[in-house]
Amino acid sequence: MTRVLRPPKRIDVTLDSSGRPRIVRLDRHFDHVSVVEEWRVSERWLATPIDRAYVKVVGATWLVLIFQDLFTGDWFLERIFD
């Protein structure tokens, strides 16, 4: 099962030297993560266009889907995998 957050929750992400997520901060907790999968979604035809870099990351005890809004640079948590 998965839990989808609507709207997505803004989070803090620290990147490694190659620009990939290395540390994800969820509320008061943070964890070192490994990237499982990554892709980009760019849809300009929508009423509110999106340009996002999605990254599925695994921490010590969780697997989540996060994305970076490439218009603002902000990171968001979108899905928690159980």
- Distance between CA 53 and CA 78 in Å, rounded? 12
Total of domains in the chain: 1
Confidence at residue 1, expressed as pLDDT on a 0 to 100 scale: 82
47 has pLDDT over 90: no
How far apart are alpha carbons 49 and 63 in whole angstroms? Answer: 27
Q: Report the largest interatomic distance among the alpha carbons of the chain, rounded to a whole angstrom.
A: 38
**pLDDT tens-digit readout, 7-34:** 999 999 999 999 999 999 987 888 999 9
Strands 2-15 and 29-32: unpaired
Domain that holds residue 56: 2-81
